Structure 1
């Protein structure tokens, strides 16, 4: 059953999701554009509708991913999910500078969703894991998978320190299974690993560490954000 769900999810991510909502929404958008801008050229509403179509397609994909990931974590695994984020973590991540973060491959039921954590200090990491929530752990014992990377955020030392300090204040907050639109949820309270880092830098540096600005912020979105630079790889 787990493998079936994983294969289905992989298919969704590769080919996308076709939805009658998308077509109807795009047509409605065209009609509205023409109505409110009767003198506009044909190209203008077409270009706008294409943007709307792209955003709608992204929403459908994010929604489906969120539904499947929530199902895998909450229903099939419950509290038996490994606190390292799943997968086979065999390497110690080790120290880095305050405000840096790591990304590690991490899998649940054959789905590689990844995991991120933030350095509060050179030897202390703050991360949100399922089902515990936000916690701190020593960088000298934190295990990651081969291929994990440590990255730095391109900003001032003060911003890094403030972001790290805020993340540390979130220790004890529960884990959130809302992967679908966590960009739009509150910064306080329950949060998953990527929302923790995204909120920290968004609130205390005005930085949007989300490479594609989709409805949900995922670990790879943090890893690939343009405001980050490579430090080292495991």
Structure 2
């Protein structure tokens, strides 16, 4: 498992050197991945990067001719990870999820620890109404679920966004309108993809508040908006913890 993850991450370095992608951009993506997968050392990635290359399918990733090289690289690596993890592991809130998150106000969101294999990526969902949550999960995509049955792991938190009730309502309405959209595996570069269409859990909330409140709920403004980035955004306030 550890070697596979290092292999995929090493591909960022190998392909990055051979393409026009800026070295600093490759380094930043590598650093962000290491934050959610700390068991893989920088030294191991660099060492294996000299020995391994990604399969030729990387060059075959397409999106109607519109996807740039950075997005091709990001989605190819995440597909490799998802294909591997999907064989034996649940994505989004698996493991010890045994606590009901419960209701909260429209526009609030929850964050729960969540892991795929040994990758602790976390998960977020937005309250459409006090008892209805809208979220994007793998492989289903954007869906709604009752807050009275949504299970989370110990340590989950509910937070509010510091903005007007109108912005919260509009953001929640837009997120709800996205139900049925597919899940996006391109979490590594999702700040640079469109707001419509496929999206992961953090992109759903980030897009909703950026579009309808001008709020950038991304604590570090990196290439990818991860669940913890939304949780820790400065425009959010703590409500309760499980």
Normalised TM-score (structure 2): 0.73
CA distance in 2, matches of 1:18, 1:61: 15
Match of 1:171 among 164, 179, 185: 179
CA distance in 1, matches of 2:173, 2:186: 24
Q: What is the RMSD of the two structures over their aligned residues, measured on CA atoms?
A: 2.9
In the TM superposition, what whole-angstrom CA distance separates every residue of 1:37-64 from its partner, at most 9, and x where no partner exists?
A: xxxxxxxxxxxxxxx95x5531343478
2:206 aligned residue? 198
Q: Which has the larger radius of gyration?
A: 1
In the TM superposition, what whole-angstrom CA distance separates every residue of 1:136-168 from its partner, at most 9, and x where no partner exists?
A: 000000000000000000000000000000000
- Superposition map of 1:103-182 within 5 A: 103-182=111-190
CA distance in 1, matches of 2:219, 2:15: 25
Question: Aligned to 2:169, what secondary structure does the other structure show?
Answer: helix
2:81 aligned residue? 72
Distance 1:220 1:70, change over 3 A: farther
CA distance in 2, matches of 1:189, 1:120: 19
Normalised TM-score (structure 1): 0.75
Number of residue-to-residue matches in the alignment: 199
2:104 aligned residue? 96
Match of 1:59 among 25, 29, 38: 29
1:230 aligned residue? 238
CA distance in 2, matches of 1:4, 1:89: 27
- The runs of 5 or more residues in structure 2 that have no matched partner are 37-73
Deviating 4+ runs (over 6 angstroms): 17-20
Distance 1:90 1:68, change over 3 A: farther
- The runs of 5 or more residues in structure 1 that have no matched partner are 27-51
**2:217·2:229 contact (CA, 8 Å) conserved in 1?**
yes
2:227 aligned residue? 219
**2:127·2:172 contact (CA, 8 Å) conserved in 1?**
yes
In the TM superposition, what is the alpha-carbon distance from 1:86 to its structure 2 partner? 2.7
1:48 aligned residue? none
